[in-house]
Structure 1
Amino acid sequence: MNKYEILSKKFKNCEPIFGTQMTVTHSTIMLEKLYRDDLDFMLFDMEHGIYNTENLVPLLQVTRLMGLPNVVRIPSIEYPYFARAIDMGADAIMVPRVETLEQVKTAVDAIRIYPLGKTGYGGHALLRKDETMEDFQKNRHLIIQIESPKGLENLPAMLETYGDQIASIIVGPYDFSIMIGEPGDTLSENCQKWFKKVFDVCKSYKKSCGIYCNDANAAEIYKKLGAEVFWFSMDLNFLLKGYNETFDDIKKLF
């Protein structure tokens, strides 16, 4: 199986999935160097990152040439963001701040072609090589972010109605921590209780679920809570970690 098929299988079977993200660089060299055989996806962040419809194209092209599934996190739930990302070669769309059933309907309509949705056909990279429109309907993943108590409250209805169109549910720990009055304290006992509630709902619907984590310590805690998708760290963090460790090692010589 190729990596696209493996990722689809892992989503379907709620298996462990590992992905990281690029946020502050559009270097294709950096992208190639971050590749590993056991990396399931690379996320490009249009919500908080530097990406737009021009500088994202080369990165999506390179992931396709490498056979590495990509995920594009769009800024908001609006049709043009879905359509442009898909047309440029997105393999999955992550949708932030989802709280209502109506928002999920908008997302499904925007990522699927008729009769499952309403997205338009076009774009130079909409289809992979030898891919059919039927393949497209099955092979583009919709990932929903739950980042608030309201989102959690409506999650059962989302999965009941559109579960067959949603690949995975991802907790946004930082925004969630803000919404419950503990900004940034994503490993607090209270945050963990809320995150576990999200995972428990997903498990009751046999739906893949996960969370963003800064490091292995956070990943271990979230794994115990029930997370299966580990979207971890980012390009800037990797750069800073290597820089600071090397700098500190040299300073120890004096």
Structure 2
Amino acid sequence: MSGATAIDGFATRIRRGEGGLISAWIGIPDPLFVNHLAQEDFDAIVLDMQHGVWDIGTAAVGIGQGRLAGKPVLARIPVGDFPSASRLLDVGASGIIAPMINSASDAEALAKATKYPPLGERSWGPTLALNHTGLTANEYLMSANEQTVAIAMIETRAALDAADEIMRVEGIDGIFIGPSDLSIALSDGAKVAPDTAEVDGVLKHLIARCRAHGKFACVFGSNGERAGQLLRMGFDFVIAGADTQQLRSGAASAIAAARRVQSS
């Protein structure tokens, strides 16, 4: 699959559930870091603007670096920052992940910001997106709602209660589950325990609701092994650990190898 096909066809692939997709997750605000990780066999890249320290300018360049390497780039916006969702699509993001979508009204606000009429109220101005796609203005207008995805995060008790209503909102393409925040919610703030049987039960329930509504299901996996378990569970799109965890794990492995050889 060519880079252009992989990028422009990403939304179709994830909507159709064409095999489990694995994405990188990057909070370090260096566009070159995106390009390096994009050389690996990830299906996509996610820029974390909620807990990472990207801004619009660095994210725009990061999206370009991902596209240069042939990978679609999505962005997780800060809580409630729907204006940034539109701007990120304008600079070429393939999708938006919005945290703390706790109600149908939250989901409607996300859809309004990320979809052109008649689905939403996204304002016109796809500056870099036109350059990246090579489409004319009218071609982009006619295809953007289908070629980009709006993903609502479900990670609180309120969101669990409203999950069906959230998924019924037209313009919401899929959901993304944050197991850490979900575990905090389920324990009433007592613990962070994302990889437990209790959380798994909720994950399986939400996958079933996605199937019922014709939506795709995404989730954060704490590492590669956990990501594989989540794919086997039925998720369409998983994170195989964050950039910082992978960076430190790789460094720790190299140090341990050096010490092992030194002492042998």
TM over 0.5: yes
Matched, 1:175 2:181: yes
Question: In the alignment, what sits opposite 1:142?
Answer: 150
1:110·1:118 contact (CA, 8 Å) conserved in 2?
Answer: yes
How much has 1:47 moved relative to structure 2?
0.1
Which residue, 196, 202, 212 being the options, matches 1:194?
A: 202
Partner of 2:73: 70
**Residue 238 of structure 2 corresponds to residue 235 of structure 1:** no
Q: Counterpart in 1 of 2:88?
A: 85
> What percent of counterpart residues are identical?
19
Deviation readout 1:151-170 (Å, 9 max, x if unpaired): 122121222232xx233211
8 Å contact kept, 1:173–1:186: yes
The runs of at least 4 consecutive aligned structure 1 residues that moved more than 4 Å come to: none
The more displaced of 122-131 and 10-19 is: 122-131
Aligned to 1:130: 135
Aligned-pair CA distance for 1:8: 2.1
Tell me the CA shift for residue 36 of structure 1: 4.2
Q: Which amino acid aligns with 1:32?
A: N
TM-score of the two chains, using structure 1 as the length reference: 0.91
For normalisation by structure 2, the TM-score amounts to 0.88
2:209 is aligned with what amino acid? V
Counterpart of 1:26 in structure 2 is 30
Could you list the per-position Cα deviations for residues 66-124 of structure 1 after superposition, in whole angstroms to 9, with x for gaps in the alignment? 33111010002233221221222211100111110001110111011222211211152
Whether the aligned pair in 2 keeps the contact of 1:82 and 1:111 (CA below 8 Å) is yes
Match of 1:161 among 146, 149, 169: 169
Match of 2:45 among 37, 42, 46: 42
Question: In the alignment, which of 4, 17, 23 is matched to residue 7 of structure 2?
Answer: 4
Q: Secondary structure at the match of 1:115?
A: coil
Counterpart of 1:17 in structure 2: which amino acid? L
**How far off its partner does 1:126 sit?**
3.5
Q: Call closer, same or farther: CA 1:176–1:84 in 2, change over 3 Å.
A: same
Could you tell me how far 1:243 is from its partner in structure 2? 0.8
Tell me the number of residue pairs that the alignment of Structure 1 and Structure 2 aligns: 251
Match of 2:115 among 109, 112, 119: 112
Give 1:88's aligned amino acid: V
Could you tell me whether the CA contact under 8 Å between 1:11 and 1:168 is conserved in 2?
A: no
| Structure with greater proportional helix content | 2
Separation in structure 2 between the aligned mates of residue 79 and residue 12 of structure 1, nearest angstrom: 22
In structure 1, list runs of 5 or more residues that go unmatched.
Answer: none
Give how far 1:174 is off: 0.5
The residue type equivalent to 2:135 in the other structure is D
Q: Counterpart of 2:22 in 1: which secondary structure?
A: strand
In structure 2, stretches of 5+ residues that fail to align are: none
1:206 and 1:137 map into 2 onto residues whose CA distance is 17
Partner of 1:222: 230
Instruction: Report the Cα distance in structure 2 between the residues aligned to 1:197 and 1:121, rounded to whole angstroms.
Output: 38
CA deviations on 1:2-54 (whole Å, 9 max, x unpaired) are 113442232222231111111124141x3222124742210001100010122
Kept after mapping to 2: 8 A contact 1:11/1:167: no
| Matched AA of 1:11 | I
Q: Output the amino acid matched with 1:23.
A: G
Cα distance in 1, alignment partners of residues 194 and 186 from structure 2:
11
In 2 relative to 1, CA 195–73 (structure 1 residues): closer, same or farther, beyond 3 Å? same
